[in-house]
Homo-oligomer: A and B are copies of this chain.
Amino acid sequence: MGDSLNKSDIASLSDEIFESRITNHESPNSMSSSPLLADLIDALRCLPGVGAKTAQRMAFHVLERDRDGARKLAERLALAVERIGNCSRCRTFSEEEVCVYCASPSRDRGLLCVVETPVDQLAIEQATGYRGQYFVLLGRLSPLDGLGPKQLGLDLLATRLAEGEVQELIVATNPTVEGEATAHMLSQLARAAGVRASRLAHGVPLGGELEFIDRGTLAHAFGGRQEL
């Protein structure tokens, strides 16, 4: 019985602590020594993966140790949001009308790699030696989210293919259900324009162990085995 008493004591205590946190959390201005600081903590939560606790740590960190960095971040953030739009040719992020990839004379105009997002484009650019051009869908086919061919800029892509410069369309959408559907539509588009379409190889990732690789990937890798 002494035990159960203790337990309920502890439970009520935890509730009290929890309660006070909730209350404080709902009125952030009251919990901080400075309303501006509370506003900053709140605003930091727009960043992905940043919750209340991390935002707090970030705000205190920059105020205590890196005000110059914070000042610079504020400037660049404002500038980026204001000035960065989309390239009129490939739809990636760019502050110019035409992005550096599309404007570059040294990049092969016969190759066009289609990706879902600018991050995917950056990943390919960083990891591979690809020196062709890109087209960024800014999404994937997803009718439920209102993303159809028009939103993905497929009319722009069709015009580009019709120009006749592109020899090969490299489809680099994600291997998800929606990505696959998008890839299917892209291959149809390429066929209609008489352009060869290819896609990234599926297979065993470097450093992966066969034992732990999922069945689908392994089956793909086995089926697509290459001559040594």
> Nearest chain-B residue to A47 (Cβ)?
B58
- Chain A, interface size category, equals 35 or more
Q: Is A187 interfacial (CB-CB < 8 Å)?
A: no
> Nearest chain-B residue to A73 (Cβ)?
B43
Chain copies in complex? 2
Say whether A48 contacts B61, CB under 8 Å: yes
Interface residues of A in 47-97 (CB under 8 A from B): 47-49, 54, 56-64, 66-67, 69-81, 83-84, 87, 92-96
Q: Is A206 interfacial (CB-CB < 8 Å)?
A: yes
A72 to B41, CA, bound (A): 11
Residues of B within 8 Å of A49, CB to CB, are 54, 57-58
A206 CB to closest chain B CB (Å) equals 7
Chain A 98-113 per-residue mask, 1 if CB under 8 angstroms from chain B, else 0: 0111000000000000
Say whether A81 contacts B62, CB under 8 Å: yes
Q: Is A158 interfacial (CB-CB < 8 Å)?
A: no
Query: Quick one: given A32-B122, A64-B117, A83-B36, are A72 and B93 in contact (CB under 8 Å)?
Result: no
A59 to B140, CA, bound (A): 20
Say whether A72 contacts B101, CB under 8 Å: no
> Nearest chain-B residue to A118 (Cβ)?
B60
A179 CB to closest chain B CB (Å) equals 17
Q: What are 15 A-B interface contacts by the 8 Å CB criterion? A: A20-B127, A21-B126, A32-B122, A33-B94, A33-B118, A35-B95, A43-B73, A46-B62, A46-B72, A49-B57, A56-B119, A67-B81, A70-B80, A74-B74, A74-B75
